[in-house]
Amino acid sequence: MSQLRDRMVRDMQLRRLSDNTQRVYTYAVFGLAKRYMKSPDQLSDEQVQDYVLYMLNERKLAWSTCDTNVAGLQFFYGVTLGRNSMRLALPPRKSEKRLPEILSAEEVSSLFAATNNIKHRVLLQSAYSAGLRVSELVHLKITDIDSDRMMIRVNQGKGNKDRYTLLSPRLLQGLRDYWRQYHSATWLFPGQNPARPLDRSSAARVFDAAKEKAGIHKVGGIHSLRHAFATHLLEAGVEARTIQILMGHRSILSTMRYLQVTRKKLGTTQSPLDLLAIPDPAKFR
């Protein structure tokens, strides 16, 4: 399996798949091999198809998770092994459209106040103040902080695109205080091995711990800070196009969805009931 894994990783790197995609695809093949306790190149098409049914019917994985696993298996069998006869595509299924539960400004403040560790606090403040995805957050380098222009450079964000986003003066001061304690050499938020960045799951646990300590019960993980960034900027009157650029959205439609959850827009809109001139019921008695 190790040789097959190396071949698959090589194939993914040649096609410039993201690190996260490589990790997910590799795990999909590992799960298949673990299920049958056999090398995946020894499995028949029918066995692989049965594994997809197993994920759906027995493990009851989310449709999106199954879809991602199927994509990984298709890559392994179609590209790495050259078995183009494999047919694993799941039929399209409408996904549920759910609006995020937005943290209020007060809740964000309480989240930061509940974090005593300066590294953890600055980590969360960076995610919120710059509207970063967690993968972008943990891969920030010291050199990405441009204090002269008051900008943060995001290298190879989603879609392998670079962009710039805001550097808050308050965050800059926090980063300087943090650096004086930790003296990070390369990564802004290094992991236990200073040569490697903090992993995404560790950043997520930092958020979850602060959220629990702050007594916040809204649904959502560390990505909630990115949602709050967009929503709070819209409520402050910042144009959607500007927010689109800061967040790295490919389409303005991705940004416009936050209009559905902005308190300023919704809270100041009157119900049609309040616009009616309703006669006094006493007149009809």
Given the residues 120, 163, 226, 227, the one annotated as active site: 226
Annotation marks residue 158 as catalytic: yes
Asked which of 18, 45, 80 is the last residue of a domain, the reply is: 80
- pLDDT, position 265: 56
- Tens digits of residue pLDDT in 176-187: 999 999 888 899
Annotation marks residue 133 as catalytic: yes
Structural domain including 133 reads 105-267
- Tens digits of residue pLDDT in 84-127: 766 766 666 655 567 778 899 899 999 999 999 999 999 999 99
Q: Are 233 and 139 in a shared domain?
A: yes
Q: Are 237 and 114 in a shared domain?
A: yes
Quick check: helix, strand or coil at residue 154? strand
Given the residues 158, 200, 205, 257, the one annotated as active site: 158
The two three-digit tokens of residue 59, written as one number: 């493990």
Q: Which helix (H) or strand (E) holds 145?
A: strand 145-146
How far apart, in whole angstroms, are the C-alpha atoms of residue 102 and residue 258? 10
Residue 280 in any domain: the answer is no
- pLDDT, position 9: 92
The CATH number for 207's domain is 1.10.443.10
Residues in the chain, pLDDT under 50: none
Residue 88 in any domain: the answer is no
Q: Are 115 and 214 in a shared domain?
A: yes
Between helices 169-182 and 118-130, what is the axis angle to 10°?
A: 150
DSSP characters over 198-267: PPHHHHHHHHHHHHHHTT---S--TTHHHHHHHHHHHHTT--HHHHHHHHT-SSHHHHHGGGGG-HHHHH
- pLDDT, position 263: 62
How far apart, in whole angstroms, are the C-alpha atoms of residue 103 and residue 109? 10
Residue 37 in any domain: the answer is yes
Annotation marks residue 153 as catalytic: no
Q: Are 66 and 146 in a shared domain?
A: no
Given the residues 77, 128, 178, 258, the one annotated as active site: 258
Given the residues 121, 211, 232, 249, the one annotated as active site: 249
Annotation marks residue 249 as catalytic: yes
Given the residues 23, 119, 141, 223, the one annotated as active site: 223
- pLDDT, position 137: 95
Q: Are 152 and 167 in contact (CB under 8 A)?
A: yes
Annotation marks residue 5 as catalytic: no
- pLDDT, position 155: 85
How far apart, in whole angstroms, are the C-alpha atoms of residue 1 and residue 216? 44
DSSP 8-state assignment for residue 166: E
The CATH number for 31's domain is 1.10.150.130
Q: Are 142 and 209 in a shared domain?
A: yes
How far apart, in whole angstroms, are the C-alpha atoms of residue 39 and residue 24? 18
- pLDDT, position 160: 66
How far apart, in whole angstroms, are the C-alpha atoms of residue 170 and residue 198? 23
Annotation marks residue 217 as catalytic: no
Q: Are 249 and 197 in a shared domain?
A: yes
For 152, list phi and psi in degrees, rounded to 5. -115, 125
Q: Are 121 and 251 in a shared domain?
A: yes
**Count of domains for the chain:** 2
Apex 94 CA angle, 90 and 98, nearest 5: 130
How far apart, in whole angstroms, are the C-alpha atoms of residue 12 and residue 7? 9
- pLDDT, position 144: 95
- pLDDT, position 282: 61
Q: Are 149 and 233 in a shared domain?
A: yes
Q: Are 117 and 257 in a shared domain?
A: yes
- pLDDT, position 209: 96
The two three-digit tokens of residue 88, written as one number: 């694993």
Which of 266, 196, 193, 191 minimizes the C-alpha distance to 235? 266
Q: Are 119 and 221 in a shared domain?
A: yes
